[in-house]
A and B are shown apart, each in its own frame.
Chain A
Amino acid sequence: MVQHDRKRRFELLALPHLDAAFNLARWLAGNTADAEDVVQEAYLRAFRYFDAFQGGNFRVWLLTIVRNSFFTWAKENRSSRLVFHAEPPSGGAGDTETTAWGTPPRDPEALLMERIDSETLSRLMERLPAEYREVLLLREVEDLAYKEIAEVSGVPVGTVMSRLARARLALRKLWFGEVEAEAGNAV
């Protein structure tokens, strides 16, 4: 009965977040089959360490486990998804994200991303390094605060902020490339 209650409590807490867990795993792993493996492993781990959950935000706790399960999985499978082809730091330490943002090369209106279609956005996201995808998802889709993202990713809040800035910059760069290519084709 005790065991049953534990399992039921776990399911009541964990199953409502299955979509969030799967969406994160799917974006990290890149396909459904691998994402399912990662999520199953994560739920098994979460159940095992359920007693260690100290209260607080269960979704954040669970997403942390999903995220770590993905990285463990990627290492074990030597997945290329783990390779961070991170943006090289543009310039020296004094070169902040804000200056790197710069001014758009074209008519700013044409560069607003609002009108991007899902397919293109997916494709661009897929080209980002895993840690950039992760931080963008946690911020924009899961709507987590910097502090919560720091918890999930296991890095300081300052790192979250600079990583998020770099991720946005990288996505913007890919988007500009897309717009330029389209303009080139149109001519």
Chain B
Amino acid sequence: MQCDRARRLLPQLIDGALGPMRRLFVTRHVAHCGACSAQLEELQSMQTAIRSNLPYHHAPPGLAARIGAMLPREEVPAPSRPWLRVPAFAFAGTGLAGALAGVALTLLVVGGGGSAPDEAVEQSVIGSHIRSMMADHLTDVLTSDQHTVKPWLSARLDVSPSVRELKDQGFPLIGGRLDYVDGHPAAAVVYQHAKHVINLFAWASPGKPDTGFHDESRQGFNVVTWRRGGITYYAVSDVEADQLAAFAKLVG
């Protein structure tokens, strides 16, 4: 009878579903009963087999992007005009230290674009950069530790962007954020330069060749884009163009 009771409880034992009293009963019984012990061993071995040997099917690359693109589109960033108002807002918001205050540098890494910066992508990246400073949503993971930011991002995206600690070079790492650019999810790695924020966006562009750095100025923001190792990067900021170019070279 002890065996009957114990065996009914064996699955709950391996599933961690027993309270302390019943667990004590089962483990004590099993210690003295060869038959129940063998059954427990079998159950555990099956559990181990499934947990360690059953193939895990990871989502195919690009599925996240397709889902993002499929969700209702009215949320996609509005046309460019509203952005024109934003720099003033950003300055007013930070308001501390004169001209330097409120300058943000966003490095956005995005996938799938052509070699020259696509205007729609650029709009999207700049919009994202601006929103990141307007809302209280600069970072999802706030840490200066590159070893935290990188796995956090790669666990959530099909891309593992370059994340560097560039404090000594004058670009301390602030954190990371999951963003959404031109119809697909993107990593946004956030850096700082003096009082300026830099967003570095990254997304997967499988099979696309590497490119050099391409910089452009738009709506008062500087943008540098390049592609390396199947990942497209966009750095966006209102820091000086040559500073942003220097930053891009450090990261890329």
A18-B63, A122-B55, A168-B46 are known contacts. Are A4 and B77 too (CB-CB below 8 A)?
Answer: yes
Q: Check B43–A168 contact: CB distance below 8 A.
A: yes
Per the bound structure, the CA–CA distance linking A114 and B53 in Å amounts to 9
A11-B178, A16-B156, A141-B50 are known contacts. Are A114 and B58 too (CB-CB below 8 A)?
Answer: no
Residues of B within 8 A of A108 (CB): 38, 41-42
Per the bound structure, the CA–CA distance linking A39 and B59 in Å amounts to 9
Residues of B within 8 A of A7 (CB): 71-72, 75, 180
Determine the residue in chain A with the shortest Cβ distance to B66: A40
A7-B180, A39-B63, A101-B7 are known contacts. Are A113 and B54 too (CB-CB below 8 A)?
Answer: no
Per the bound structure, the CA–CA distance linking A103 and B41 in Å amounts to 12
A16-B156, A113-B46, A172-B42 are known contacts. Are A22 and B63 too (CB-CB below 8 A)?
Answer: yes
* Contact code string B125-138 (vs A, CB < 8 Å = 1, else 0): 00000010001010
Q: Check B50–A121 contact: CB distance below 8 A.
A: yes
How many residues in A have their beta carbons less than 8 Å from beta carbons of B? 56
Per the bound structure, the CA–CA distance linking A111 and B190 in Å amounts to 54
Q: How many A-B residue pairs have CB under 8 A?
A: 137
How many residues in B have their beta carbons less than 8 Å from beta carbons of A? 51
Residues of A within 8 A of B94 (CB): none
Which of B47, B54, B60, B140 interacts with A12 by CB under 8 Å?
A: B140
Determine whether B81 belongs to the interface, using a CB cutoff of 8 Å to chain A. Answer: no
Determine whether A75 belongs to the interface, using a CB cutoff of 8 Å to chain B. Answer: no
User: A-contacting residues of B (Cβ < 8 Å)?
Assistant: 4, 7-8, 10-12, 15-17, 35, 38-39, 41-43, 45-51, 53-60, 63-64, 66-68, 70-72, 74-75, 77, 131, 135, 137, 140, 155-157, 178, 180, 185
Give 5 closest A-B pairs by Cβ, nearest first.
A22-B59, A26-B57, A98-B7, A113-B49, A7-B75
Give 22 A-B contacts (CB < 8 Å), ordered by A residue: A8-B180, A11-B178, A12-B140, A15-B67, A15-B156, A18-B59, A18-B67, A19-B56, A23-B57, A23-B58, A32-B60, A39-B63, A40-B63, A98-B4, A108-B42, A112-B45, A114-B48, A115-B49, A118-B53, A140-B47, A145-B16, A172-B46
